[in-house]
Amino acid sequence: MDLKTVAVHRALISVSRKDHLAEFARFLSGRGVEILSTGGTAKLLREQGVAVKDVSDYTGSPEVMEGRVKTLHPKVHGGILARRAEPSHLRDLESLGGAPIDLVIVNLYPFESVVAAGAAIPEAVENIDIGGPSMVRSASKNFESVTVVVDTADYAPLMAEMEKEGGITGPTRLRLASKAFQRTAQYDGAIARYLSGLKVDEGELARNGGTFPEFLPLFFHKAQDLRYGENPQQQAAFYRDGDRFLGALKQKQGKELSFNNILDLQGAWALACEMPRPACAVIKHTNPCGAALGKTMAAAVRRALQTDPQSAYGGIVAFNAPCDGESAQVLADIFLEIVVAPAFDAKALEIFARKKNLRVIEMKDQDPFPGWDFKRVWGGLLAQTQDLPGLPEERRTVTKRVPTAEEMAALELAWIVCKHVKSNAIVLCDAEGTVGIGAGQMSRVDSTKIARMKAFKDTQGTAAASDAFFPFPDSVEQLAEAGATAVIQPGGSIRDAEVIAAADRLNVAMVFSGARHFRHG
């Protein structure tokens, strides 16, 4: 296949989005390109002083059915699909009275945005484009000779290339064809997903009301290659879903991100954002190793680092409010992989600049819980709604003793942190921050032992959180022995009565949340 530079003699333009189009069309017309167009696009171009030939005049067939049928014609698709190096193709096209079309500029009916805006079913269906994707696919298939444009962002680069090269190069046509097929795949996927969420109810179309559609197309764009995967022998890349969360992070300095960096970054940011402001979270291997509140960000980070300074080495520090110079100075002599915050002041950036490998990430206005949560498993994909903060939960005291206000503040903080710790999880807190964290054990008793062992100070008077119910009284007894005076847990065990009785016997206040927060992976 000879992908040489091709001059443009004839263009077909039929777009839904018309921004920046007039400038591009005037450029083409100025180079002697004949422009074919349809409906509203032709009207706009004429108003802008661009010479246009209606597609209906080119085909000899009028637009019919309120514009539903206008470009589905042999002269249109023959002009796009004819191979220029195949004489029989050109003879067939000539016999139809058609001519080669070298450039196809099409963007599709706004189906996705119409559906996202809550359109009624008839309006959504009417915004399913037929002629547009057909032309895009025809032009993409014949990229040997034809250029297809589906994105307004490509207008300016194409004009520059045509000025420089006298036409459109083979690599550009190949790139744009790939981009066009990506667009039609995404478009068709959105339509299929929408239709799979409908049902026929007494002869009428209605939404079936299910959270998960029968068909789930997923589309991601590569944002960057990563240094390596989970281990150095594994290659990896980061693909983004739109511009949300990690897809829109701004790296201010430091080495490029690795696979594990991104996992840890997500964990740190999610915990920090769920805490009251100002707060700081320290993460190592996706697990919190410290989290704290403070009157200032510097106070919060000092306290968060106290919980487990050894584990914080090589970790991720996340702030949920701007990082200032005083906070940065606290971190100046600690080896860290990443510092992430909504913003950094000039003094903080100056301090961090002394550590050239430290990754400094700005996550301004980014939702830490976008979309669904997916987990890849062999042969399939698990999908679930996010375990969002703020979902309805109870706070029911089940023991004779009610927690004091200070204990309740510590319980609330422990409960937030516990949600972000690998199961089985036990977290010890006071009202300012974490004291000890027990993560990822097969037995809740072992997690309790680790939380006590890892505590950076005397655990007398602390509050404890458990991500799931206590199946037996033993963990509560261990916590009481460690000096914990209040516990929060979901409740729901067949032995709840035994656990509550143990708490009463030990004078431990216990609160049921009614919600479980397992984190398996």
Measured distance CA(412)–CA(160) in Å, rounded: 59
Measured distance CA(70)–CA(62) in Å, rounded: 7
Question: Which entry of 9, 53, 141, 252 is annotated as an active-site residue?
Answer: 141
Q: Which two tokens stand for residue 97?
A: 């009275």
Contact (Cβ atoms closer than 8 angstroms) between residue 428 and residue 435: yes
Residue 310 carries which side chain, given as an amino acid letter?
Q
Q: Which two tokens stand for residue 219?
A: 């589309």
Measured distance CA(73)–CA(61) in Å, rounded: 8
Phi, psi of 115 (to 5 degrees): -65, -45
Measured distance CA(336)–CA(327) in Å, rounded: 14
- Helices vs strands, H then E, count in the chain: 19, 23
Measured distance CA(373)–CA(219) in Å, rounded: 15
Q: What angle do CA 203, 209, 210 make, to 5 degrees?
A: 120
285 is catalytic: yes
Q: Which two tokens stand for residue 312?
A: 């914080």
Which residue from 63, 60, 280, 84 is spatially nearest to 167, judged by alpha carbons?
A: 84
Residue 49 carries which side chain, given as an amino acid letter?
G
Distances 256 to 8, 236, 371, 497 between C-alpha atoms, Å: 41, 12, 26, 53
Measured on CA atoms in the order 280, 284, 290, 291, is the torsion positive or negative?
A: positive
Judging by DSSP bridges, how do beta strands 147-149 and 103-107 pair with one another? parallel
Measured distance CA(12)–CA(135) in Å, rounded: 9
73 is catalytic: no
Question: Which entry of 53, 89, 255, 285 is annotated as an active-site residue?
Answer: 285
Contact (Cβ atoms closer than 8 angstroms) between residue 289 and residue 308: yes
Supply the DSSP symbol for 6: B
Measured distance CA(400)–CA(104) in Å, rounded: 76
Q: Which two tokens stand for residue 51?
A: 């010479």
Residue 76: enclosing H or E segment and its boundaries? Answer: helix 74-81
Which residue from 419, 437, 413 is spatially nearest to 427, judged by alpha carbons?
A: 437
Measured distance CA(19)–CA(249) in Å, rounded: 27
Measured distance CA(425)–CA(411) in Å, rounded: 14
Measured on CA atoms in the order 175, 179, 180, 181, is the torsion positive or negative?
A: positive
Catalytic site residues? Answer: 141, 285
